Amino acid sequence: MKKVFLNAMLVAFIGFTTVSCKNEAKNETKANDAEEVVEATEEAQTFMIDAANSKIDWVGSKPSENHTGTLMVKEGKFSTMGEDLESGTVVIDMTSITVTDLEGDQKASLEGHLKGTTEGKEDHFFNVEKHPEATFEITKLTEKDGKNWLSGNLTLKGTSKNVEIPVTYSMNDDQSTLKIESEPFTIDRTDWNVNYGSKSVFDDLKDKFVNDEIEITFMLQAKKA
C-alpha cells in the first residue's frame, strides 16, 4: 500500500513539473513607452530584407489548447557599421496570418477570427482590413547576461510600445548577407489593445479565456544593397 501511495505521489509530481515547465513564460517582454528610433549614419552599410527567406512564428494558447502559426515579412532594411547592427525597420504583413496546426474549416475559421475578416468579429483580434501592417523599429542594441538584446518600437493596431528581445545576428563570409534570429519571447497582446477573451480585461470569462501572452520567434535575412 505504501509503495502504491509513493508511486502515485511520484506521478503527480512529474505531472505538476511538466505543466509548470510547459506554462513557463519564455523571455517575457515588458511593454514600455515608445522611444526615439535610431537613424542610420551616412557611413553605414544598408541591407534590404529578403522577405522570401524571412519568417515569423507564433504560438497562442488558451486553457485547453495551443495554436501555432506564421506571419510573413513584407519589407524592411537594416544598417550596419562593420559587423555591428546599427538601425533597422521591419514591416510585417498582418494579412498573412496563417494557422499551421489546423486544417480545413477549422483553419479557415480561426484565421478569419484572428484577421477580423469574419462578420461581427472584425476587432476581436487584429482587424487587418483597418491595420494591414505592423512595424518594428530599432531603438537600441545592448549586451547583457551574455546575450544581445534588441530594443525597438513594435507598432500593432495603431499602438506603439517599446520591447526588448534577445537576438543573435551574423553575416556570411563575404558580408553580403545579414541574418538576425530571436530566441522565443512573449508579448502581452493587451498592451496593444488586442483584448478579446482576456481575463485581465473581462471579469466574467471563467475558463473561457484566451491567454494574454503570445509567443514569437523570428528569423530575418537581409542582403547587402
pLDDT band at 186 (very low <50, low <70, confident <90, very high): very high
Q: 10 Å Cβ neighbour count for 112?
A: 15
Rg of the Cα trace of the chain? 20
- Is the CB of residue 55 less than 8 Å from the CB of residue 66? no
Record the cell numbers describing residue 98, joined without a space.
496563417
90/225 Cα distance (integer angstroms): 16
Mean pLDDT on 106-110: 97
The pLDDT score that the predictor gives to residue 99 is 98
pTM for this model (two decimals): 0.87
92/99 Cα distance (integer angstroms): 16
Query: Quick check: 103 pLDDT over 50?
Result: yes
186/188 Cα distance (integer angstroms): 7
225/24 Cα distance (integer angstroms): 41
